[in-house]
Amino acid sequence: MNGPQDLGGAMGFGPVRPEADEPVFHAGWEARVLGLTLAAGALGHWNIDASRHARESLPPAVYHASSYYEIWLRALEALIERQGLLRPDAPVPHPRRLSAAAVPAAIAAGTDYARPVAAPPRFRRGDRVRARNIHPRGHTRLPRYVRGHVGRIEAEHGGFILPDAHAHGRGEAPERLYTVVFDGAELWGPDAEPGLSVSVDAWESYLEPV
C-alpha cells in the first residue's frame, strides 16, 4: 500500500540526528515492546509480513506522530485484537507460549524465508527491467519511488516468500528475488545527486522486461 511507511524520496523530515553514545533502549517500555512483539510473534498467529502491514496500516497521522516502538506497540495491539488473543474464551495458557529457556534457540534459528522455485528465472544478471507501476491496496515491498523506472538486474537470489501474499493469509507464493540497480538520474531526474545508484530487492512479479 502507498502508506505512511513508504518514505523513499519524501521531504520535510529535517536533518538526520545521530545521537552520541546512544543506548539500546531509551525507556524501559521500549525494551518491553521489543520483547512482547517477538514473544507474541512466536505464537504463530501472524508472520513478519502481517506485522509490517499492521504497522503501515496505522493512520498516517498516528504513524508520523509516533516513535518507532510506539508504532510497534500499536501494531501489536491491533494484531492481538484482530486475532482475539485476549478474548475470554481463548485457551490459557496459549499452547505455543515461548518459554524463557527457548529464547536463545528461537533467536539463533531465526526464520528461513528462502523457498525453492521450480521455474527458471525470468531475468538474468545484466537484464534491463522496469519496476511495475503497481498500486496495490494491500502489502507490498516495492517502494513507490522505483515504480515505473528502469533498472538492471544485478543478482538473482533464488526463491523467497512473497510478502504481498504472505501478509494477507494467501500463503507463501514464493517467487525469485532479484537485486535491481537504478541509476540516480533515472529515479530522480535532474535533481539526482551525481554518482548515485540505488538498489532494491524485488520479487519477480514486481518486474517486467524492457
Partner 1 sequence: MPHDHHDHPHHDAPPDPMTERVRRLEAAMVAKGLVDPAAIDAIIETYAEKVGPKNGAAVVARAWTDPDFADWLRRDATAAIASMGYAGRQGEHMQAVFNTPREHNLVVCTLCSCYPWPVLGLPPVWYKSPAYRSRAVLEPRSVLAEFGLELPPGTRIRVWDSTAELRYLVVPMRPEGTEGMDAGALAALVTREAMIGTGLPKVPKRVPAGVPS
Residues 82, 86, 91, 93: what is their CA dihedral angle, to the nearest 10 degrees? 120
Which region, judged by CB under 8 A, interacts with its own copies, from 19-27, 106-114, 167-175, 184-192?
184-192
3-class state of residue 32 by DSSP: helix
Minimum CB separation of residue 166 from partner 1 in Å reads 11
Q: How far is the C-alpha of 183 from the C-alpha of 194, rounded, in Å?
A: 10
Q: Minimal distance in Å, beta carbon 59 to its own copies? A: 6
Q: Tell me the three cell numbers of residue 1.
A: 500500500
Closest approach, Cβ 174 to partner 1, in A, equals: 12
Smallest distance from its own copies to CB 133, Å: 4
Binds its own copies by CB under 8 A, chosen from 133, 170, 171, 196: 133
Q: Which of 45, 52, 141, 149 binds its own copies (CB under 8 A)?
A: 149
Map residue 51 onto helix, strand or coil.
helix
Task: Please tell me the count of residues contacting its own copies according to CB under 8 A.
Answer: 34
Query: Residue 98: which of 30, 51, 36, 25 has the closest Cα?
Result: 36
For its own copies, the closer of residues 59 and 84 by Cβ is 59
Instruction: Return the closest-CA partner of residue 71 out of 93, 55, 87, 52.
Output: 55
User: Residues interacting with its own copies, by CB under 8 A?
Assistant: 1-4, 9-14, 56-61, 63-65, 132-137, 147-149, 187-192
